[in-house]
Structure 1
């Protein structure tokens, strides 16, 4: 509106710039509220009168049309602001309900299991209400503490239901099956009946025993081992395997592999919402570079919270996809 005033004073009535004052309330409605838009419309009306006097348009049809246009655009913009605010409130409610449903279906994990301390971070995506299917769980098995971290293909309540189903099947198999590979076969059979080959679940299964950890990777991002001396290792399988739900399409399933897991070591499990998070320039989150210095805090949960905040800062706002992280630290028994 200030630009319109300056141009009108310089150019005079020849260009007929007064109707452009309607841009004020129209643009105010984009970012402001109802009151802000009404104030912009009032300012436009106040500015139009002295400008009309300067341009010798008082009493002519041009100024009448301008005033009617300002009032009409301001009224429409105020209505749009109100409808937008109501839509934002409804969307916030839907997000809250969706996130609550997701957290209810995923059971809480224990913070301690023997000489293990466990921390969890779950950041829900803030893109509409498109909740995802990230999953996690920890259970005691015959050979030690077993855990799963995974991600269901797709979004929405169907993905959350599938995630809850996988967690339930894992809990049953983790208690019963003698070997980690048997747990994986139970999960594959469960998903083959439930999904029918249309969806899949990437997942990492792990079993922590005394002095070591065994892993079974179904097409999931590899965990990071942070040793007590500060080194970082990607725990990648020797051969890639298809996700759960598609294992029958491969000649063989994944082979168990493992490494030493001693006092002071930490293992970070995560979903692709972490490693595939991008900043405004399109660069992926450098998890391997950030994790060593951010996981030095005394409490594992504090360390993981610090890593979560660093992830949000890298993205520059809400994460576009659900991001789950599970940190396991071995301490002195």
Structure 2
């Protein structure tokens, strides 16, 4: 249980929701004391220990050649100059200590050459390490820019909604995958979209970016929600056709999703179109209920249906929170293969603390519950998205 919680806590820290995700490849942070770097201290302590031990043992037990380890340790935690400096210090120490012994006990030139070669190779290895780290940090910056393009940050109260979201990538170094979500205020109310593109990798990211770009324009301009849905279907088909034209083999890619419209003239209801996705949950201080599943097919499969997906008009009272998740939550399994019972455990959590229905508290609770259930082993990208209308005076309800 302790090990499982430790995994969960590390993932919670590494994947916490904020404007910028943490580094997938963290920058090297030198050891510091009162703001000053002491990265050289472990290697210097090792050097001192070897020198003292060699000086206080018999001539039959000489370990001065172990000084070759000093620049090796420095190469892992210091810069190139620091590694070279410790290598030179090791050579000086070798010469002084070895010369202090009678001739028959001296290690002599062969071990001195060993320390010289070891110091030179350590400096080279340090240079390679730093170059690789710079390359990985550059890749991190590119991935962060991609993430912020696909999953743009949204200001508080965007579109008249209190909202909170957590995105957990199954591949923590990828930082972004096929899950997507957005809120788009427009001329005809506020619309939101959450979805999951089939597959993984950059191809799924491209499809998600294409759908979000179309949604942001269509949701702003189009007065009818079914028209927005039609635009998304066409966008998915066009994207698949483009990929086929490039010679890619993923022309049958599709995306599940849920689109919700908050109309200003109907403050107690919402319009929902479900594209083959898990139905959203309505969370209140009194409990949890599911929205109707709808009969829509995933985006990219519209040709298989005889009619466009229906628009469901469902009640959503002020103060009720709409919770939407991707299959990273619903398909999370524990060691015995049991799926995460989201609705049942959430109902119990609300009974203990009704404040869990707040969007920010809610996404944190679902995140922690999912990681606890699966032991930190995410099998798929995971998105948790919660929204509710703001009060008429702009306060959080």
- TM-score normalised by the shorter chain: which range applies? 0.5 to 0.7
CA distance in 1, matches of 2:298, 2:357: 35
Specify the alignment match of 2:144 in structure 1.
99
Shift of 1:128: 4.6
Alignment partners' CA distance in 2, 1:331 and 1:265: 10
- 1:124-273 map, 5 Å: 127-128=172-173, 131-139=176-184, 145-152=190-197, 153-156=199-202, 159-174=204-219, 175-176=221-222, 178-180=224-226, 183-196=228-241, 197-208=251-262, 209-220=266-277, 222-229=279-286, 231-233=287-289, 237=293, 243-246=298-301, 248=303, 259-271=314-326
Q: TM-score, normalised by structure 1?
A: 0.66
Once residues 305 and 277 of structure 2 are traced to their aligned partners in structure 1, the CA distance between those partners, rounded to angstroms, is 16
Shift of residue 166, structure 1, vs aligned partner: 0.9
Partner of 2:71: 25
Q: Deviations over 1:233-284 (max 9, x none)?
A: 4657377x764224556898866667532122112334456778999xxx99
Asked whether the 8 Å contact 1:213–1:258 carries over to 2, the reply is yes
2:176 matches 1:117: no
Task: Find the aligned partners of 1:199 and 1:256 in 2 and give their Cα distance.
Answer: 24
Cα deviation 1:298-324 (Å, max 9, x = unaligned): 985x6579669969x97999x998765
Change (3 A) 1:12 1:132: farther
Scaled by the length of structure 2, the TM-score of the pair is: 0.58
In structure 2, relative to structure 1, the CA distance for the partners of 1:137 and 1:106 (3 Å cut) is: same
Query: How has the CA–CA distance of structure 1 residues 9 and 135 changed in structure 2, closer, same or farther, with 3 Å as cutoff?
Result: same
CA distance in 1, matches of 2:55, 2:256: 63
SS in 1 for 2:129: helix
Q: Is the 8 A contact 1:304 1:327 kept in 2?
A: yes
**Residues 54 and 296 (structure 1 numbering): CA distance in 2 closer, same or farther, change over 3 Å?**
farther
Cα distance in 2 for partners of 1:211, 1:108 equals 27
Change (3 A) 1:298 1:277: closer
2:128 corresponds, among 83, 95, 100, to 83
Q: How does 1:301-316 map to 2 (within 5 A)?
A: 303=361
Deviation at 1:92, TM superposition (A): 2.0
Aligned-partner Cα distance in 2 for 1:263–1:186: 30
Q: Deviations over 1:165-190 (max 9, x none)?
A: 2123224544436354x543432232
> 1:251, 1:268 → 2: CA distance?
30
**In 1, distance between residues paired with 2:120 and 2:353?**
52
RMSD value, Cα: 5.3
Structure 1 contact 225–232 (Cα < 8 Å) conserved: yes
**After superposition, what is the alpha-carbon deviation per residue over 1:118-161, rounded to whole angstroms, capped at 9, x for unaligned?**
324465868556643443233457985321012334334x5444
Distance 1:94 1:70, change over 3 A: same
Shift in CA distance, 327/18, structure 1 to aligned 2, threshold 3 Å: same
- Which ranges of structure 1 fall in alignment gaps of 5 or more residues? none
**Uncovered stretches (5+) of structure 2, i.e. residues with no partner:** 1-45, 242-250, 393-397
Deviation, 1:35, is 5.3
Could you tell which deviates more after superposition, 323-332 or 48-57? Answer: 48-57
Q: Give the Cα–Cα distance (whole angstroms) in 1 for the partners of residues 97 and 252 of structure 2.
A: 68
Residues 210 and 79 (structure 1 numbering): CA distance in 2 closer, same or farther, change over 3 Å? same
Moved more, 167-176 or 81-90: 167-176
